[in-house]
Amino acid sequence: MSFGPQLCASALRARRNCEHLSRKLTQTHSDIAFLGACKRLNLVPKGLQLKNPLRSTSSSSRSKDICFKASQLLRNLAISEAYKKQRTLCNKLSSAKSELSSELPSHVNKDQVFNFLDNREILNKRRCFARKERKLQTLFNKSPVLSRLHAKDYIRTKAVFRL
């Protein structure tokens, strides 16, 4: 595994900061894609599902509907928060990349450093999106309404996920 060209301490810190911000931005991108696919399929991720606090005393369909609607609102709020986070991370990453290019010594090929960062980002994107795709598939299979669909009516989550 290549770690890119040799850098001085300040340039190395700047490169690691770029890597860290890029990883966080990729995670946010995958969160947005996952939550958007859940919204299109009318699913709520397990971590955002609200439980009925009165489950032991009252388990009516009305209380389940209220919890489901509140979970959907929570999912929609998570989407909007992820978009806000994405904007701030994009700004931070662009400033970190400009800082990195100013920190690089003249004898280092800047293209080589940025290609290294791009390759790491591509690898991280593959991992993140594959993880979210598996998560969406599991959620899709556990959904009581969607799991009863016939094979010919099966909604391909990969196609929905990549929209």
Give 146's pLDDT tier (boundaries 50, 70, 90).
low
pLDDT of 8-28, one tens digit each? 788 888 888 999 999 999 999
Sign of CA dihedral 62, 65, 71, 76: negative
| pLDDT at 74 exceeding the cut of 90 | yes
